[in-house]
């Protein structure tokens, strides 16, 4: 049975289908397309196959959705040409807010720089089989990670010290500031990676290492140190690990947000 619901402001809507067979194994998809027909046809193809699909009519609408913890897509399909926020700017903004893989969808060949900024390209019109293979490939080949499973999101020792020195609201304010700053750094990092600016990547890594380290945000500080240590020589630095570190930083930031909600509720 197909189930539709609406969420958020009128400029966006969400479609989903609950399947009895293996829905939890299928990636959650965010589809961003300003064309009503393309958006609805693609969403219907996916929901009829059991995928959970969120749709947005613009880049700005998609970012509003990702600001809510309700929306955590595994794959983002975005049209290459949309009014307003689009292209590489939209990709950078999406990467700063979510760890999903991003695929460009277009009826013509998009600029090479746009394809390189994304994780792949899907040409319109496409068959259901082509779409399913793209999403199945995501499921079968999980993203690599440089997160150390032994690293906690936050040092319990540092958190305990803060709690001895100040009241809970003040501790929450510290970590709220850390999350906000990390979000800005991640957005800047995504832009630097898209431009291939290795010096800026290292600078941002240094800032993340220092700020998060002071707050005991161990995962994020460790990832910042890895970014700072990126090779300086152009021939050695292809920023290969930077995209992985960017995804890991988003994961670490989400972990900090969950810590705030559980340990330091407002």
pLDDT tens, 52-69?
Answer: 899 999 999 999 888 876
What is the model's pLDDT at position 145? 76
The full set of domain ranges for the chain reads 2-140, 156-263
Residue-level pLDDT at 207: 96
Q: Which helix (H) or strand (E) holds 77?
A: strand 75-79
pLDDT at 219 over 90: yes
Judge whether residue 106 has pLDDT over 60. yes
| CATH architecture group of domain 2-140 | 3-Layer(aba) Sandwich (3.40)
How much is the average pLDDT of 234-249? 64
pLDDT value, residue 17: 31
Q: Please check whether residue 5 is in contact with residue 42, taking contact to mean a CB–CB distance below 8 angstroms.
A: no
Percent of the chain at pLDDT above 90?
A: 30
- Answer for the pair 124, 228: CB distance below 8 angstroms, yes or no: no
Express each pLDDT in 1-19 by its tens digit. 333 333 333 333 333 333 3
Q: Would you say the pTM of this structure is higher than 0.75?
A: no
Radius of gyration, alpha carbons of the chain: 19
Q: Which CATH superfamily is domain 156-263 in?
A: HPT domain (1.20.120.160)
């Amino acid at each position: 049975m197909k189930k539709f619901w609406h969420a958020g402001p009128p400029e966006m809507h969400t479609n989903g289908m609950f399947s009895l067979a293996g829905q939890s194994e299928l990636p959650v998809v965010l589809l961003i397309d300003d064309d009503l027909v393309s958006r609805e046809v693609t969403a219907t193809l996916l929901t009829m196959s059991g995928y959970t699909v969120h749709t947005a009519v613009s880049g700005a609408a998609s970012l509003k959705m990702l600001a809510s913890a309700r929306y955590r897509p595994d794959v983002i399909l975005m049209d290459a040409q949309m009014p307003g926020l689009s292209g590489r700017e939209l990709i950078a903004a999406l990467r700063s807010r979510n760890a999903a893989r991003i695929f460009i969808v277009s009826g013509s060949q998009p600029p090479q720089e746009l394809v390189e900024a994304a994780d792949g390209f899907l040409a319109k019109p496409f068959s259901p089989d082509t779409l399913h293979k793209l999403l199945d490939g995501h499921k079968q080949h999980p993203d690599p990670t440089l997160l150390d499973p032994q690293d906690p999101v936050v040092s319990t020792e540092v958190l305990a010290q803060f709690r001895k020195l100040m009241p809970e609201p003040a501790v929450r304010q510290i970590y709220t500031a850390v999350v906000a700053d990390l979000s800005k750094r991640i957005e800047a990092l995504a832009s630097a990676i898209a431009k291939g600016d290795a010096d800026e990547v290292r600078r941002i890594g240094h800032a993340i290492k220092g700020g998060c380290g002071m707050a005991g945000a161990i995962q994020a500080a460790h990832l910042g140190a890895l970014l700072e240590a990126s090779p300086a020589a152009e021939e050695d630095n292809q920023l290969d690990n930077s995209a992985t570190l960017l995804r890991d930083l988003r994961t670490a930031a989400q972990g900090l947000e969950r810590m705030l909600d559980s340990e330091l509720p407002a």
